[in-house]
Structure 1
Amino acid sequence: MKVSYVYILKCSDNTFYTGVTSNLHKRLLEHQSSKYPDSYTSKRLPVELMYYTEFTDINYAIATEKQLKNWSRAKKQALIAGEFNELPNLAKKKFSK
């Protein structure tokens, strides 16, 4: 069974980067070493792993990565902090009258 990971990194400019990989340790080393010099994280080193989760189906991992990339910063911070009960509230849009 092949395991895939979805992960969130905190960059030096305080932004978050979300990615998916089948080898988390190798991918983190690639981020830290600027293996891809034109990438988002290579211009924002160092990076720190803030969150990751495992999947046994790469399709679910990719779908989750896409979902997380659309989340607000506040919602990502709640996920990282393990404040799962806050996630539904952070998903609701606020409309002014």
Structure 2
Amino acid sequence: MTSMFPDDDCRQLLLRKGVYPYTYISNWEVLEETSLPPRETFYSDLTLEHISEADFNHAHTVWRRFNIGTLMEYTLLYLKTDIVLLADVFESYR
């Protein structure tokens, strides 16, 4: 994780469960949007709940700190973080 995200402040933002509007992403055009969608779009079909205000604020902080320009960039950061954290877990147990 440190090699992928050398800035400690930015890395700390990614060391928790990410926030992502799964059901909002319904087509490719949505990924071209240039701002984080409204909090209501972060509804989980699995838990049948909306995210907390704190989680939504965290998503906004990540968007700003990583200079995200589109929802596609946010998606790629979310996926990259997920993969790197999983790889770190595997490396720890090797």
Q: One fold, TM greater than 0.5?
A: no
Q: Which has the higher strand share?
A: 1
Larger radius of gyration: 1
Instruction: Please identify which structure carries the higher helix content.
Output: 2
- For Structure 1 versus Structure 2, the TM-score category normalised by the shorter chain is 0.3 to 0.5
